[in-house]
Structure formats: C-alpha cells, structure tokens
Structure 1
Amino acid sequence: MDVISLGNEEFEGRNNAYLLDGETTTLVDTGIATPRTRTQLREGLAEHGHDFSGLDAIVLTHFHPDHAGLTGEIQAASGATVYAHVDDAPLIERDEGALAELDDRRHTLFEQWGMPDAEREELLAFLDSHEGIAGEPARVTRIEDGDGIEVGDLVLETVHTPGHAAGLCCFEFSEGREAFVGDAILPVYTPNVGGADVRVEAPLERYLDSLRTLVARDYERVWPGHRDVIEEPTERARFIVDHHRERTERVLSVLSEGPANAWAVSAALFGDLEGIHVMHGPGEAFAHLDHLERNGVVERDGREYVLVDDPDLEALIPPA
C-alpha cells in the first residue's frame, strides 16, 4: 500500500489517496477536482507505474469533494468500478434529485440556525464558486455495512461510521487490525459534525456511536483521509468523545446566560468564520443543541434553544 499526498487549499489541508497495487489496482479516495490536485495524483500514480487508465477499482470513504472529486474523471479514463455507501452514492453520481434535496435541506437549516443574511449570501457564493470541485459524475456500485470488497489479495470489510457524512465508511484489512477511516477520526483536528452533511439526522448521536464502533474494533493503526497515519486510533476515538462532552459543557454555559440560536452558540464557540466554516460552525453548534433537545435538556422555541434541565454530562455523553 502506498500513500499519495494531495494538496487541498479549499478545505482542511493535505488529503491522502491510498494506492493498493496488485491484480486489482485500487485507489482509496481520489482527491478534489482541481488542476493542482489532478496533477499531483497523476504524478503520484506515475511514481508507482500507473496512470488513471490503469486503475481497476476506486473505493470511496464518503462523498465530499476532497475525497471523491476526481472519481468520475478516473472512471471515464479507466472503466474502474467505484464503490461507495448507498447513502452517499446519489451525490457521487450527481443525481439531480439528491442534489436538490441537499440544497433544500441546507436552506431550511440555515434559516433555522439563525444565520444572518449577509453571512448566508457569503456562504452560498462560496459554495457556488466551488461547485466544480465535485468533478464529473461516476457510476457507483453501492455497498453497505459488512460488505467485503475484493482488491487483489486483500478483502476490505466495510464498516459504516456515519456522522461526519451519512455514508462515511471505514474499510478494514490486515485481518481487522488496520483500516482506512476517511474522516471518521483525524490525527490533528476533530471532524465536523452537523454542517459537513446536513442530511444526517441526530448527527452527534450517530457520530458518537461511530466512535464507539471504532473503539470496539480496537485497530492497531488507521489511515485517515487527511495528514498522517494514526498509531493509537482507539485512544484518538476516545479523545474525540471526551472533546464532544467538553464542547457540550461549553454549549450549556452559553445557554445558561439565556436562550440562543445555533448561530449565536457558534459565535461563542468559534468566533468569526469564513468560507466553508460559515456552515461548519453553526452546524456543529446545531449538532450539540439537537443532542441536548433529544435528551430533554433543552427545548427549542422557534430558532432559539432554552435550557430546561441540568444534565449529568457523563450520562449524556458517556466515555467510550
């Protein structure tokens, strides 16, 4: 297995694509559809004696453009089979109905979150100007939790870990001791929940469940979608659970001062935001507020959330 490092100035920094060489030459994630990243991926493949046309399969951790953007172009050049979870497949295929539903959901939530008009226009302009990074549509072979994907001498077992994205999957190998984890856990920062994929219902609850899945799997090491290999993934997953408990405590502190909407809570947590973070910040705040509402700690009155109970934080978000 070879790591191909790809630039990503549009979002969160360096991406990883993973090349599995052998009878079935496979790429795990493809990078964002920009000229710079396309060149880097071509050069990385060439270092190992491959090009786009020689790939047999592409395995995608999730639909986000910095992981799937070049997929359609590569498939057009190679005829490669593309595997992705059933929940993300319509977006990778650029299905008009699925894209319209995503757009409608975003607009509904932006209103519910209390996003001011100026920031909303800024965000929509950013999204429109970056529409091309999603690349060309691809034909997707749909997979689900527990499915095995044969790639040469390896079988990748699909482990569905929703939260950051509805269809985010990890793919374990080496007799279950290692895995490609996409953005399920990352080595430096914590994956966004709530804004990164507004289709996810109960986003924080689902993400915490996914983190507990990774703890239960207890991998020796994992290969993330960004930056470097994670050598102690179980501890990293536990750290992120604890991080979300601490963030929930901060959200409760904001609400103790009076009712607030997701935008106001986001401002208290993250300050001023720009670019994609105009969506990610209030989305993360919403994920926590939604979790508190589902557990009877807050009530929503229109756009605002009102604190109605003083929770036991460890009962609300137990350690993993």
Structure 2
Amino acid sequence: MDLHRIRLGNAVFEGRNNAYLLVGDRTTLVDPGASLDSVRDDLHGGLSAAGVGVGDIDQILLTHWHADHSGLAGELAAESGAVVRAHEADAPLVSGDGDAVAAERRLRERRFDEWSIPTGKRDELVAFLDRHDDLQGDAIEVRTLSDGDRILAGDDELEVVHLPGHAAGLVGFAAETEDREEMLVGDAILPTYTPNVGGADLRVDRPLGRYVESLVRLMDRDVGRAWPGHRDPIDDPTARARAILDHHRERTERVVSVLRERGRADPWTVSADLFGELEAIHILHGPGEAFAHLDHLAHEGVAERDGDGEYRLTTEDPTVADLFPNTKY
C-alpha cells in the first residue's frame, strides 16, 4: 500500500491530525483536516512532498463527519473535481444538508436539558461551538458508503468497516498487505487517549454499547497496524482496543461508585465527580461521556433514569465486569 501520512496542525482540539494519501490509479486523500489556513498549508506541503498536486486528487474519503477530519473536503473537491465519500449516517452532515444540521442542533438543545448542564456553562459551550462553525468548510456533494463496500484507492482495494461510537458513521478503511491487514481507523482507536463517546456525536443510540461492539469487532479482525486520525501509528491495534475496553470498564465502575455514594445523580453531576471543572468543548464531552456510561448501566438493567433526568442503581452491588463482553484477547 503506497500510503503517505501528512501531519496536520490542530490548535482547536487535542492532538495533531493525520491526513493520508494513497497514490496510484485513483489517487485518494483520506481526512483532509479542518478548514483553517494553518491546516491548509500543512496539507499542501504534504501533498507537494509526495509529488501530488490538488488537481491530481481523484477521491476524498472521510472516516467521519467531524470538522477536524472533513473541513477541507469541499474546497479540495471544488478545485480538483474529486469525488467525496462518507458513510451514509454522516454524509448529510458532511454535505451541509440543512435538515440534518437543524436536527443535530435541536438534539443538542435537548441533551443540554437532559444532562442538566448549568446555564452559564451552556452559554460558554455554545459560544465556543459558534466560534468554530467555519471549521466545517464548504457545503459539498457526498456519495455514501456502507459497511462492507469495497472501493479502489490508490492502487489498492479498501474495505469499508463501520465502527460507530465516537460518531454514528465512523468507518475504517481496511487493506490487505503481504502479511497482515492494515486499517485507517479515524478516531475509532487512538494511541494516547481514548476517543470521546457520548458527547462527540449526540446522534449515536446507546453510544457506549455501540462503541464496545466496535472495539470487539476490531479485536476480532486482529488488524496488524492501525493508522489513526491523530498522532502516531498503532502497531498492536488489538492490544490498544483491549486497553480502551478496560478503560471503559474501569470508568463504569467509577460511575457506579458515584451513584452508590450520591443515591441518584444527573450526567452533569457525575461528570463533575469524574473530571472536575470543565471548559470549552469538554463542557460537551464530559457530561456526554458520563451519559454514555449511565445509559449503558440503564440498558443493562442495573440503573434507571427517573423523570427528573437523574439515574440511580437498581441493584445494590452490580458486577461491572458482567456488563462488558468477555473476549479471548
């Protein structure tokens, strides 16, 4: 696989982004990054170093809809004529579809209420999100991908692997090499921190449960190397997925402890116990993560949510390990 990693600056969210270039019969760019001048400069520099101009790009693939991965897709497609592809669940948001964007905004307001985010913190978060709206870039026509699709990229055939959790339409792009499978995984797994679940995409139903299923799917594939959306390649993706699964099991145990001590609590209160004072995007990600774990407990029947949006345990001492899959890894 003729793969070039292009490192992109990222002054808004944690960690440097990665764009990936596959050169060949269908020159393909994966996750071009946010619509920022600094990112644009990094991307053009990386393309030039690989001997590729924007006009040479035939196809742009997106692992998911978040602006730090998809923001430059519109302008690059307009300049090059490249086809843009994203999973069917995320394509409406990438394309800038008005109904999809409005529905996501309405859902955001509902979640703010359900999670009991205080008014002052809510205003701070909305101001942060509004300041960074332009990172999403230009509206664009998007062709949809589905799990199991196979597409030509560079000179290789990639399999689309749906890995929801961090985003509803997050996909990996898997390629068979001589001795192992490699996968471009976006933010499905990351090398130094865990992708946010619950707050990063409010549309995901049962966010932690879906993410756990995606981690198990990655482990079952026994990928030889993963190319993540941020930071460095992951040489043992199975071990990394297992570590993230263990992390979420431990976090669920902490959430159970909070509910045991408090009797009942809403997601904002639980997030404060987990993470302390929250600022900027973490005002969304913190209670979102708490909600994902509370929702998992409720779905597994060991907690319930009352009419005031607070959760309480329904069994005195749940065994958290039983709420997660036992795997052979």
Normalised by the length of structure 2, the TM-score is 0.96
TM alignment of 1:151-166, pairs within 5 A: 151-166=153-168
Provide the secondary structure at the position in 1 that maps to 2:121: helix
TM alignment of 1:142-153, pairs within 5 A: 142-153=144-155
Give the Cα–Cα distance (whole angstroms) in 1 for the partners of residues 278 and 196 of structure 2.
14
Give the Cα–Cα distance (whole angstroms) in 2 for the partners of residues 141 and 96 of structure 1.
17
Partner of 1:93: 95
Between Structure 1 and Structure 2, how many residues are aligned? 320
Give the Cα–Cα distance (whole angstroms) in 2 for the partners of residues 139 and 71 of structure 1.
10
Give the Cα–Cα distance (whole angstroms) in 2 for the partners of residues 214 and 60 of structure 1.
19
Decide whether the 8 Å contact of 1:69 with 1:136 is kept in 2: yes
Q: 2:26 aligns with which of 10, 24, 27?
A: 24
Partner of 1:185: 189
Give the Cα–Cα distance (whole angstroms) in 1 for the partners of residues 154 and 281 of structure 2.
38
Instruction: Tell me, yes or no, if structure 1 residue 247 matches structure 2 residue 254.
Output: no
User: Which deviates more, 53-62 or 206-215?
Assistant: 53-62
Decide whether the 8 Å contact of 2:23 with 2:155 is kept in 1: no
Decide whether the 8 Å contact of 1:82 with 1:141 is kept in 2: yes
Instruction: Tell me, yes or no, if structure 1 residue 198 matches structure 2 residue 212.
Output: no
Query: Offset at 1:53?
Result: 2.1
Query: Offset at 1:162?
Result: 0.2
Give the Cα–Cα distance (whole angstroms) in 1 for the partners of residues 248 and 136 of structure 2.
30
Give the Cα–Cα distance (whole angstroms) in 2 for the partners of residues 64 and 86 of structure 1.
14
Partner of 1:108: 110
Partner of 1:58: 60
Partner of 2:275: 270
Give the Cα–Cα distance (whole angstroms) in 1 for the partners of residues 277 and 36 of structure 2.
27
Query: Offset at 1:152?
Result: 3.2
1:219-269 deviations in Å (ceiling 9; x for gaps): 111100000000000010011111100000000000011211000000011
Instruction: State the Cα RMSD in Å.
Output: 0.9
Provide the secondary structure at the position in 2 that maps to 1:226: coil
Q: 2:305 aligns with which of 300, 303, 307?
A: 300
Provide the secondary structure at the position in 1 that maps to 2:242: helix
Q: 1:208 aligns with which of 189, 206, 212?
A: 212
Decide whether the 8 Å contact of 2:71 with 2:138 is kept in 1: yes
Q: Which runs of 5+ in 1 are unaligned?
A: none
Q: 2:323 aligns with which of 303, 309, 316?
A: 316
Give the Cα–Cα distance (whole angstroms) in 2 for the partners of residues 319 and 235 of structure 1.
15
Decide whether the 8 Å contact of 1:238 with 1:319 is kept in 2: no
User: Which deviates more, 198-207 or 289-298?
Assistant: 289-298
Partner of 1:12: 14
Provide the secondary structure at the position in 1 that maps to 2:18: strand
Provide the secondary structure at the position in 1 that maps to 2:169: coil
Give the Cα–Cα distance (whole angstroms) in 1 for the partners of residues 46 and 161 of structure 2.
27
Amino acid of the structure 2 residue aligned with 1:74: L
Q: Which runs of 5+ in 2 are unaligned?
A: none
The percentage of aligned residue pairs carrying the same residue is 56
Partner of 1:43: 45
Partner of 1:283: 288
Partner of 2:35: 33
Give the Cα–Cα distance (whole angstroms) in 2 for the partners of residues 286 and 200 of structure 1.
12
Provide the secondary structure at the position in 2 that maps to 1:178: strand
Give the Cα–Cα distance (whole angstroms) in 2 for the partners of residues 199 and 51 of structure 1.
36
Query: Offset at 1:33?
Result: 0.6
Decide whether the 8 Å contact of 1:241 with 1:319 is kept in 2: no
Give the Cα–Cα distance (whole angstroms) in 2 for the partners of residues 51 and 196 of structure 1.
33
Query: Offset at 1:312?
Result: 1.8
TM alignment of 1:167-182, pairs within 5 A: 167-175=169-177, 177-182=181-186
Query: Offset at 1:51?
Result: 2.3
Query: Offset at 1:154?
Result: 0.3
Give the Cα–Cα distance (whole angstroms) in 2 for the partners of residues 143 and 182 of structure 1.
15
1:99-136 deviations in Å (ceiling 9; x for gaps): 00100111101110010000000000111110000001
Give the Cα–Cα distance (whole angstroms) in 2 for the partners of residues 13 and 34 of structure 1.
15
Amino acid of the structure 1 residue aligned with 2:10: N
Give the Cα–Cα distance (whole angstroms) in 2 for the partners of residues 51 and 261 of structure 1.
51
Amino acid of the structure 1 residue aligned with 2:296: H
Decide whether the 8 Å contact of 1:168 with 1:182 is kept in 2: yes
Provide the secondary structure at the position in 1 that maps to 2:201: coil
Provide the secondary structure at the position in 1 that maps to 2:34: coil
Normalised by the length of structure 1, the TM-score is 0.98
Provide the secondary structure at the position in 2 that maps to 1:84: strand
Decide whether the 8 Å contact of 1:242 with 1:319 is kept in 2: no
Amino acid of the structure 1 residue aligned with 2:321: E
